[in-house]
Structure 1
Amino acid sequence: MAVPKKRTSLSKKRIRKNIWKRKGYWAARKAFSLAKSLSTGNSKSFLYDKKRTKSWKNLNQYDSLNCHF
């Protein structure tokens, strides 16, 4: 197993951690933007069949089934 020769400095560790967090931030922002465009019907980059989608009212019926995963 690979073992580091020297200790990583705090600044280098902090930089790498911030890069890792930034990737997650942009992925979440992109996903939220896509979800927002789908809900308003303004999506141009994501193709789906509008006839087959269910409304939120129909999806809420599953909440009363007490299904726990």
Structure 2
Amino acid sequence: MAVPKKRTSVSKKRIRRNIWKKKRGDLAAGKAFSLAKSISTGHSKFLR
């Protein structure tokens, strides 16, 4: 028989969410830097 799991505490939920957001921020920053680098060198298809 299925047993409901215990509730995750608010603090644990916040910690996990902040870690996830930080990772996503790193990913977005990396993409932005890569795009800026390619635009500055002239290898970008973005502004053609």
Which category describes the TM-score, using the shorter chain as reference length?
0.7 to 0.9
Higher helix share: 2
Alignment RMSD: 2.7
Letter in 1 for 2:8: T
Q: How many residues align?
A: 47
* TM-score normalised to structure 1 length: 0.55
Identify which of structures 1 and 2 has the higher relative contact order when contacts are C-alpha pairs closer than 8 Å and 6+ apart.
2
> Which stretches in structure 2 are left out of the alignment for 5+ residues?
none
Moved over 4 A (4+): none
Which protein has the larger Cα radius of gyration, Structure 1 or Structure 2? 1
Unaligned ranges ≥5, structure 1: 43-49, 60-69
TM-score in terms of structure 2 length: 0.77
